[in-house]
Amino acid sequence: MSAEQVEPQGALTGLRVVELTSEPASFAGKLLADMGAEVIVVEPPAGSILRARPPFLGDVMGRERSLVWWHYNTSKLGVTLDLDLHEDRQRFRTLVESADVLIEAEPPRRLARLDLDYPHLRERKPDLVMVSITPFGRNDPQSEQASTDLTVLAAGGPVWSCGYDDHSLPPIRGWGNQGYNIASLYAVMGALIAILVRDERGIGQHVDVSMHAAANVTTEQATYTWLLVQQIVQRQTGRHAEAQRSLPTQALCSDGRWVNTGVPPRVRKEFVAVHDWLRELGLLEEFTDSVLLELGMERERLDLSKLGDDVEVQAIFAAGREAMMLIASKLPSYEFFQGAHARGMPVAIIYSPEEVFEDSHFRARGFQTPVEHPELGQTFLYPGAPIRFEGSPWRIRARAPLLGEHNEVVFGRRVGS
Amino acid sequence: MSSNALSHLRICDLTGQLAGAGATKILAAFGAQVIRVEDPVARGLWDILRSIGPFVDERRGVNLGGGFNNHNVEKLGITLNLRTERGQDLFRKLISVSDVVTENFAAGVLARRGFSYEQLKAIKRDIVYVSNCGFGQVGPYKEFKSWGPVAQAICGLTFSAGLPDLPPAGWGYSYMDHGGAYFMAVAILAAIFHRNRTGEGQWVDLSCTEAGATLTGPAILDYTVNGRPQRREGMPHSNRSQYGEMVPHGIYPARGEDRWVAIACRDDDDWRALCNALQEPWASHPDYATLAGRRAAEDEIDRRLAEWTREREAGSVAALLRMDQIPAAAVRRPDERIDGDPSTRAWGLWPVVKHSEIGEVRVEGLPLHLSQTDWEMERGAPCLGEHNERVYGEILGLSRAEMDELAAEGTI
């Protein structure tokens, strides 16, 4: 028996997905592929737009060198088709017929013009699950307009809540094309729900994912504060946007890294722990509000529902926060992080992406995932599993495909042409 | 009419807050029978959102938290004291008729109660068990507690959101609670697909920090492949394009107090269109015709563009540029995108549900529609123990006398 046969299969083994390459949907395809689905990404002959996205291997541009393409297309098979050509449209239809799911993020009218929209594809494959990601939903004319991750997050709410206490500075778009990521996560949910329905009832359907709607429902209390009490939250540096200002939570540690001081003490044992920590560090004298900490130690629990109107509760809560801020400012970030958690209080080092990648916990969990690039004779480390399936492992089966790498295997052998 | 997409799925749900409850909300909206199991002794307040605002009126209490209602629509709610032997028996009964067990306690909490995956599996051979916590169930930090702002700080998302030479701006809300919930929903669905195909259940160990660390993938590859860390001079600068592939690309001031407009030029065509729209002599500088030229002058272009936008309404700038197919959008406030935006209303993004105590109240809908088996939201979050009779009586077959006795002794 070969190693291939005994290796446990991914959760989505047996599912075949066709993905028309795009920025918004590529993460959806990656998630499905790394979970075991056979995902065939279809590119135009000139290559996906993602291949033109920096950064590049060694900072040298090239269609096989984009790290963005590499990241978002792991475990996929890659084929090229020119959908403006009749013959390639035929191949595309045949390919879709062989698949369970089609995922795409084209402007809504483009596929209709090519007779490749859902009504046309469904005629030949009634149980097809087609997932479309658009900026505002398929029936909204605004989806024909140009958009990017930046405009999705600006119009959809996240940007309003992010930034600094100083409102002369612009609000901030978080990094990493998160507008696309969350749309892709919903696309995967939609695909899987529709597939479970298909498996049970034999029906296909069209899943319509709106990036604008996805951003709108990914803003936590900014939305429900408006829905319920019609108040508008205001952005604050490194912490929740609120209708009323709150205390700062980020502190600069002695090694120059910022930390988030987390949830301040709320119950007796936490006040005791912080008080003890101040004493151990010789900071009790420097900390001017230790009397308030002692008041916290006298109570079973601080009633946070009174935070709005009870001045004593406010003062004790603020003292707990201030104590954590003072301790953080005196210690190197890792020492603060470990010390706080050892005392049961959740705080965080504000890691850069490469720092979390190198952190011992993530290494121990096997997050660093070697991926071989045989044509380069090199192996690189990739981010690992977002979800650890103990019985059907997440796995990067192969690096992203070279342009047209699987044309022959897909069109030659598997579906015919 | 509730959705029937997932009506064959029963989830024994111990999740709370947003990172957990947000996942099962999505499945409940698609018709899964999600049964929230809550502790009668703590009055369900392990999920602190039960009793914190916003509140619709002056009433307060464990059934009235606004966020809790938003994250728990369409679920059933029961009380069950797992510290007692009879409580554990009932829990085993419930598991034996469930497809999925979900929780987002700190690592090891459920196992210490006697319900590790192995024990769950002994009760129901093909059970899908999805645990979700900040650092996962294995690894040096498994005992470390977490919440949204901690998870997103550890995983790199807080660091990467901001402007150079300033503290991290981060995310002004628990983005990774949403993210954790989305990954958790995906995990449940994928594990069910796998179970249906193979007959095998499994345990899924979801860690919010690890899931979050996959959301900055290109930055990690830039480090592992090119040796370039994101912690470096001039970074982060997250309103700009990720690696300089679009210039200009930013959030610019508009007329009025705290009004802003986002503009992105994807390529040289967008830039030419922007020049036509601007009608400003500075923009016709020949160096700016190429991306390389614009990158070299990015600070200057941003400054000049901001001077132009500052004099204008954000909405009209966005409308003008979008007419020419240039990506642009006003930075919208909650009131503008909820009540002032015909497109979110047309989508049905703010459904009204009926909550037994709060009454009729608007909640967040879902950003996807299925053409045949769409989601529905009609019922608000369950009050504490609201569905004890239905679940213990109809599903587990207990008699009225048994239920009365269990209630009297504090088991339910």
Buried b (16+ CB within 10 A) or exposed e, A239-253: bbbbeeeeebbbbeb
- Whole-number pLDDT of residue A3: 46
Instruction: Kindly report whether the global pTM for this prediction surpasses the value 0.95.
Output: yes
Judge whether A231 lies within some domain: no
The rounded distance, in Å, linking the Cα atoms of A324 and A346 is 11
Q: Are residues A118 and A180 in the same domain?
A: yes
Q: Which two tokens stand for residue A413?
A: 């052998």
Domain boundary among A292, A319, A349: A349
The rounded distance, in Å, linking the Cα atoms of B168 and A163 is 9
Judge whether A169 lies within some domain: yes
Nearest chain A residue (CA) to B30: A193
Q: Are residues A265 and A204 in the same domain?
A: no
The rounded distance, in Å, linking the Cα atoms of B331 and A160 is 6
Please answer yes or no on whether A55 and B350 come within 8 Å at the CB atom. Answer: no
DSSP 8-state code for residue A234: E
Judge whether A238 lies within some domain: no
Strands laid side by side in the B249-253 sheet: B249-253, B260-264, B328-330
Please answer yes or no on whether A199 and B185 come within 8 Å at the CB atom. Answer: no
Which residues in chain B have Cβ-Cβ distances shorter than 8 Å to A139? 346
The rounded distance, in Å, linking the Cα atoms of B273 and A335 is 53
Average pLDDT rounded to a whole number, residues A198-210 = 98
Domains of chain B from N-terminus onward: 10-213+345-408 (3.40.50.10540), 260-330 (no CATH)
Predicted confidence (pLDDT) at residue A413 exceeds the cutoff of 80: no
DSSP 8-state code for residue B158: T
Please answer yes or no on whether B140 and A160 come within 8 Å at the CB atom. Answer: no
DSSP 8-state code for residue A415: S
Looking at the partner chain, which of B51, B194, B264 has a beta carbon nearest the beta carbon of A150? B264
Lowest mean pLDDT across A297-311, B59-73, B315-329:
A297-311
Judge whether A230 lies within some domain: no
Residue B136 region by backbone torsions, left for phi larger than 0, else alpha for psi between -120 and 50, else beta: left
Please answer yes or no on whether A176 and B216 come within 8 Å at the CB atom. Answer: yes
Please answer yes or no on whether B149 and A155 come within 8 Å at the CB atom. Answer: no
Q: Are residues A188 and A307 in the same domain?
A: no
Range of the domain at A159: 8-218+365-414
- With 0-12 / 13-18 / 19 or more C-beta atoms within 10 angstroms meaning exposed / middle / buried, residue A123 is exposed
**Sign of the CA dihedral running B95, B100, B106, B107:** positive
Residue A207: CATH number of its domain: 3.40.50.10540
Average pLDDT rounded to a whole number, residues A176-181 = 98
Predicted confidence (pLDDT) at residue A417 exceeds the cutoff of 60: no
Average pLDDT rounded to a whole number, residues B241-268 = 98
Please answer yes or no on whether B5 and A160 come within 8 Å at the CB atom. Answer: no
Bridge partners for A80 per DSSP: A43
The rounded distance, in Å, linking the Cα atoms of A52 and A43 is 13
pLDDT tens-digit series, residues B82-122:
999 999 999 999 999 999 999 999 999 999 999 999 999 99
Please answer yes or no on whether A239 and B203 come within 8 Å at the CB atom. Answer: no
E-assigned strands of B268-314?
A: none
Q: Are residues A210 and A298 in the same domain?
A: no
Predicted confidence (pLDDT) at residue B250 exceeds the cutoff of 50: yes
The rounded distance, in Å, linking the Cα atoms of B10 and B12 is 7
Q: Is the confidence metric ipTM above 0.90 for this complex?
A: yes
Find out whether B149 and B174 touch, Cβ atoms under 8 Å.
yes
Please answer yes or no on whether A346 and B150 come within 8 Å at the CB atom. Answer: yes
H or E element: which one contains B270? helix B268-278
- Whole-number pLDDT of residue A297: 94
- Distances, alpha carbon A18 to alpha carbons A77, A93, A126, A180, A189, in Å: 10, 11, 16, 18, 16
| Among B109, B133, B132, residue whose Cα is nearest residue B42 | B109
**3-state secondary structure labels for all residues of A3-67:** HHHHCCCCCCCCCEEEEECCCCCHHHHHHHHHCCCEEEEEECCCCCHHHHCCCEHHHCCCCCCEH
Q: Is some CB atom of chain B closer than 8 A to the CB atom of A366?
A: no
| Among B246, B271, B284, residue whose Cα is nearest residue B324 | B271
Give chain A's mean pLDDT. 95
Predicted confidence (pLDDT) at residue B253 exceeds the cutoff of 70: yes
Q: Are residues A177 and A320 in the same domain?
A: no
Q: Is some CB atom of chain B closer than 8 A to the CB atom of A390?
A: yes
- With 0-12 / 13-18 / 19 or more C-beta atoms within 10 angstroms meaning exposed / middle / buried, residue A14 is middle
Looking at the partner chain, which of B171, B203, B373 has a beta carbon nearest the beta carbon of A197? B373
Q: Which two tokens stand for residue B40?
A: 């009668």
Looking at the partner chain, which of B213, B218, B367 has a beta carbon nearest the beta carbon of A357? B213
CB pairs under 8 A between A and B: 521
Domain boundary among A293, A325, A349: A349
Predicted confidence (pLDDT) at residue A305 exceeds the cutoff of 80: no
The rounded distance, in Å, linking the Cα atoms of B372 and A205 is 6
Q: Are residues A209 and A341 in the same domain?
A: no
Judge whether A277 lies within some domain: yes
| Among B277, B241, B274, A54, residue whose Cα is nearest residue B251 | B241
Q: Are residues A175 and A275 in the same domain?
A: no
Judge whether A232 lies within some domain: no
The rounded distance, in Å, linking the Cα atoms of B19 and B104 is 8
Predicted confidence (pLDDT) at residue A415 exceeds the cutoff of 60: no
The rounded distance, in Å, linking the Cα atoms of A104 and A41 is 10
The rounded distance, in Å, linking the Cα atoms of B378 and B387 is 16
Return all residues near A289 (Cβ < 8 A) that are at least 6 apart.
A315, A318, A319, A322, A323
Domain boundary among A349, A383, A400: A349
Find out whether B297 and B273 touch, Cβ atoms under 8 Å.
no
The rounded distance, in Å, linking the Cα atoms of A184 and A351 is 25
E-assigned strands of A352-409?
A: 369-373, 378-382, 388-389
By three-state DSSP, how is residue B294 classified? helix
Instruction: Give how far A55 is from chain B: nearest CA, Å.
Output: 6
What whole-number percentage of chain B has pLDDT above 90? 99
Give helix then strand counts, H and E, for chain B: 17, 12
Q: Are residues A13 and A124 in the same domain?
A: yes
Interface test with B, best of A365, A368, A379, A396 (most B CBs within 10 A): A365
E-assigned strands of A53-180?
A: 77-80, 101-104, 129-134
Number of domains in chain A: 2
| Among A297, A242, A159, residue whose Cα is nearest residue B52 | A242
Interface test with B, best of A68, A129, A216, A239 (most B CBs within 10 A): A216
Please answer yes or no on whether A228 and B56 come within 8 Å at the CB atom. Answer: yes
Q: Give Dmax over CA atoms of chain B in angstroms.
A: 86
Please answer yes or no on whether A189 and B368 come within 8 Å at the CB atom. Answer: yes
Average pLDDT rounded to a whole number, residues A134-152 = 96
- Whole-number pLDDT of residue A5: 54
pLDDT tens-digit series, residues B342-354:
999 999 999 999 9
Judge whether A239 lies within some domain: no
Average pLDDT rounded to a whole number, residues A293-298 = 94
Judge whether A235 lies within some domain: no
Q: Are residues A199 and A102 in the same domain?
A: yes
Instruction: Give how far A314 is from chain B: nearest CA, Å.
Output: 16
Instruction: Give how far B270 is from chain A: nearest CA, Å.
Output: 10
Q: H helices within A230-310, ranges in order?
A: 268-280, 290-298
Q: Which of residues 321-350 of A touch B (CB under 8 A)?
A: 341, 344-350
Predicted confidence (pLDDT) at residue B10 exceeds the cutoff of 70: yes
- Count of residues making up chain B: 412
Task: Please report, in angstroms and rounded to a whole number, the separation of the first and last CA atoms in chain B.
Answer: 29
E-assigned strands of A25-119?
A: 38-43, 77-80, 101-104
Q: Which two tokens stand for residue A16?
A: 């075949």
Q: Are residues A370 and A338 in the same domain?
A: no
**Pairing of β A239-242 and β A234-236:** antiparallel
Return all residues near B50 (Cβ < 8 A) that are at least 6 apart.
B43, B44, B62, B63, B65, B68, B384
Q: Are residues A339 and A373 in the same domain?
A: no
Please answer yes or no on whether B330 and A353 come within 8 Å at the CB atom. Answer: no
pLDDT tens-digit series, residues A58-102:
999 999 999 999 999 999 999 999 999 999 999 999 999 999 999
What whole-number percentage of chain A has pLDDT above 70? 97
- Whole-number pLDDT of residue B40: 97
Q: Which two tokens stand for residue A417?
A: 């042409």
Predicted confidence (pLDDT) at residue A158 exceeds the cutoff of 60: yes
